[in-house]
Amino acid sequence: MNKMSKKYNSLILATVITSTAVISMSQAHAFERGGQRGGERGTGGFERIDTNQDGQLSLDELTAPALSKVEKRLTNKDIDEDGFLSFEEFQQTRNGTMTDLSDIADEIVQCVSDIKTETANDDITVPSTDKFMSPADKFSAIDTSADNLISLEELQAKVTDKVAAAFLIMDQDADGFVSEAEFDAAKAKNRATKSAIRQCVDELSSDEIV
């Protein structure tokens, strides 16, 4: 196992929460940006995503910003501008390269479970170990054509599946739409889960250094 350091503090959101939170990373970012920008009802981005202003979110409305974001992500990472992402391009982040936490996946999961129990915080969602795949495994999971390149279509397919799965969880009354209350509940779960994972990775990082 490679030694870990406090660099996780700056890398954690980019490398862990992507596949761990209850909602997708694109939607999590949308929630936070919406909260910072504000809205007429102060719902943390709800109105901005609710493009038809009917007071509820459809799957299409939740998917559209995620697809837009993933297209921009490909453009930003595509250093050689060939329209695809190599593994080297894929694993680049603003702070360096993706951190591989697969070796301590079990420890992270147990730690999050312990925090959930100790705090009795039902908003915390305990992740499964397969949420902490290595960068190489994440790349392979998206590269469905197995050509060692990730296309925009492959990225869009992946994010579409993730948003669809998240939508089913958010739509608690199963009426085919996400209400403001359901949206806010998902945001609270995402925030609590991110906080627990961040705490666990920080603690495990310190353990490795000592």
Give me the residue spans of the domains in the chain. Answer: 8-209
* For the chain, the helix, strand and coil percentages under 3-state DSSP, each to the nearest 5: 60, 5, 35
Is the pLDDT higher at 207 or at 188?
Answer: 188
Residue type, 200: C
- Interatomic CA distance for residues 112 and 135, integer angstroms: 21
* Among the listed residues 51, 89, 60, the one whose alpha carbon sits nearest the alpha carbon of residue 73: 89
Structure tokens at 117: 């129990």
CA dihedral sign of residues 170, 176, 181, 184: positive
Residue ranges with strand state E in 112-206: none
Question: Model's pTM, two decimal places?
Answer: 0.75
Query: Band of the pLDDT at 26, cuts 50, 70, 90?
Result: very low
Contact between 47 and 41 (Cβ < 8 Å): yes
- Which positions ≥6 away from 123 have C-beta within 8 Å? 188, 189, 191, 192, 193
Taking residues 31-47, what's their average pLDDT?
Answer: 51
Residue ranges with strand state E in the chain: 92-93, 96-97
User: Residues, the chain, total?
Assistant: 210
Structure tokens at 145: 């054509």
Taking the C-alpha atoms of 184, 189, 190 and 195 in order, what is their torsion angle to the nearest 10 degrees?
A: 130
The torsion angles phi and psi of 83, rounded to 5 degrees, stand at 85, 5
pLDDT, tens digit, 9 for 90 and up, residues 143-202: 999 999 999 999 999 999 999 999 999 999 999 999 999 999 999 999 999 999 999 999
What does pLDDT average to over the chain? Answer: 83
Query: Band of the pLDDT at 17, cuts 50, 70, 90?
Result: very low
**Secondary structure class of 109 (helix, strand, coil):** helix
Residue 209 has pLDDT above 80, yes or no: no
Give the rounded distance of the alpha carbon of 139 from its chain centre.
Answer: 15
